[in-house]
Structure 1
Amino acid sequence: MDRKHLRGADVVLLPGARTGRDPARSIKPGPRRLPAGVVAATQRDRLLDGLVRTVAERGYQHATISDICRAAGVTRPVFYELFNGKEDAFLAAHRHGTGVVIRRMAAAFAAESDWCRGIWKALGAMLQLLAGTPAFATMAVIEIEAVGPAGRRERAQLLTRFRSFFAEVPQLPGGVGSKEMVDAVVGGVYSAIYRRIDSGRTEQLLELLPLLSLFCLSPFLGPAEAAERLGVRDWPKRVADW
């Protein structure tokens, strides 16, 4: 990953961080009405927030478009002006939110000159974002399975983007394939995050940071060197200081 192009972290909130009916985003009628493009963008953002919160609460299968519109304070005709249906809106929310996560991770990674510390910081940025927006974490990690083939494709594309953080891994001895090892590590990280969210402990995700960091580095450096490079022998203090 080219660190020179990863310096600008955005401050965009994840979908679901706000209520769809947030008064600050109300659209007032009248002669001073906002431009059509601004109105559409605001309504779209509200629908994404409404969808994330509704899906997190009711599950993808049981969330209806009427439920989503009600949560967003937006009418059904407007919904269909912006999205083809529930699946289309779900995938839009997933792509937007995971894009925010990846960009925040990339900026944290790029701020470190050392690959090991970059992995630590990137993982910390991801865990912090998900822990701070539990509705999005549930929607994006758990409910994506209910979407079917389109959801599985989105998840596969997301995991491919995660692999880019391992472009600098050392070559493994004995002809062991680094690519296969990276695939296994990325899958393991996703699985650990999934289990924590599925068990209702999303707000405790940051507790996984030392363990996941070691898990990412140990296959390539060995456990002892990975721990030394990360300085994680005082795990509780490290997590508290993050």
Structure 2
Amino acid sequence: MTTEVAGADFRSRLLSAFEASIAEDGYAKTTIADIVRRARTSRRTFYEHFSSKDECFMALLAEANAEQVRSIAAAVDPDAPWEQQARQAIEAWIASAESRPDLTLSWIRDGPSLGAAGRELTRESMEKFVELVTGLVDSAQFRSAGIGPVSRQRIIMLIGGLRELTAIVVENGGKMSDVTEEAVEATIALLAPR
């Protein structure tokens, strides 16, 4: 195993351990000691990859966000009617949130505690989602329905609403799939031609 591959493996183990600790104890109570114990590695290894708990958390969030964007993009059939594409995107969002509810909630609630770096990560993540939605609605099916271009502000309202709905449902112990229909209807209403 090369040093680069071993380094990537340790980094991956640290991120997975952090996510497991968030699920069990929450972000605020998770310590670097918890992370390295779960990852079965050392503090030295942790500090070879991350300068702090916050930096590790931001790396975990960035990777989770990128994975969510990829899974949503892959779930949408660009040849399906636009309403079906909207449903596919929302169902993929929900599946992603349900697959990692503790991390999703921590991202929404704890992310703001990361200060300027956290705000920048939030802006970058939002931009990736804006680009995703912009790309999805800039398709033949949406254009033929008289939709588009959709304003950046409207897309941000859609994404922000989905994020907050996700947080509230998870905080209350619910399942995101319980609100699928409402989320799909709201998305269609925001995107429908005027």
**Superposed pair shares fold, TM > 0.5:** yes
Unaligned runs of 5+ in 1: 1-33, 226-242
Alignment match, 1:79? 46
The partner residue of 1:218 within 164, 179, 189 is: 189
Query: How far apart in 1 are the matches of 2:178 and 2:119?
Result: 27
Q: Distance in 1 between matches of 2:190 and 2:93?
A: 21
**C-alpha spacing 1:71/1:111, structure 2 compared with 1 (3 Å):** farther
Q: Letter of the 2:112 partner, please give it.
A: E
Percent identity, aligned pairs only, is 22
Contact 1:52 1:139 in 2 (8 A): no
Structure 2 counterparts to residues 53-202 of structure 1, below 5 A: 53-164=20-131, 165-166=133-134, 167-168=137-138, 170=147, 178-201=151-174
Once the two structures are TM-superposed, the CA of residue 210 in structure 1 deviates from its matched residue by 1.5
Give the drift of 1:181: 2.5
1:152–1:58 CA distance, 2 compared to 1 (3 A): farther
Counterpart code for 1:191: E
Counterpart amino acid of residue 191 in structure 2: F
Equivalent pairs counted in the alignment come to 184
Query: What TM-score do the two structures reach when normalised by structure 2?
Result: 0.83
Structure 2 CA distance for partners of 1:181 and 1:129, relative to 1, 3 Å = closer
Is the 1:56–1:138 contact (alpha carbons within 8 Å) kept by the matching residues of 2?
Answer: no
Letter in 2 for 1:142: R
Bigger share in helix: 2
Once the two structures are overlaid, the 10-residue window that deviates more, 78-87 or 145-154, is 145-154
Distance 1:199 1:156, change over 3 A: farther
**Structure 2: distance between partners of 1:163 and 1:81:** 34
Tell me if structure 1 keeps the 8 A contact 2:169–2:176: yes
- The one-letter code sitting in structure 2 at the alignment partner of 1:186 is I
Supply the AA of the counterpart residue of 2:163: Y
TM-score, scaled to structure 1: 0.68
Structure 1 runs, 4 residues or longer, greater than 3 Å off: 110-113, 166-169
Q: In structure 1, give the amino acid aligned to 2:190.
A: P
Kindly tell me: are residues 46 and 52 of structure 1, through their superposed partners in 2, closer, same or farther at Cα, counting changes over 3 Å? same
Aligned counterparts of 1:106 and 1:171: Cα–Cα separation in 2: 18
**Aligned pair in 2 of structure 1 residues 144, 79: CA closer, same or farther (>3 Å)?**
same
Q: How big is the shift at 1:93?
A: 0.6
Displacement of 1:72 in angstroms is 1.2
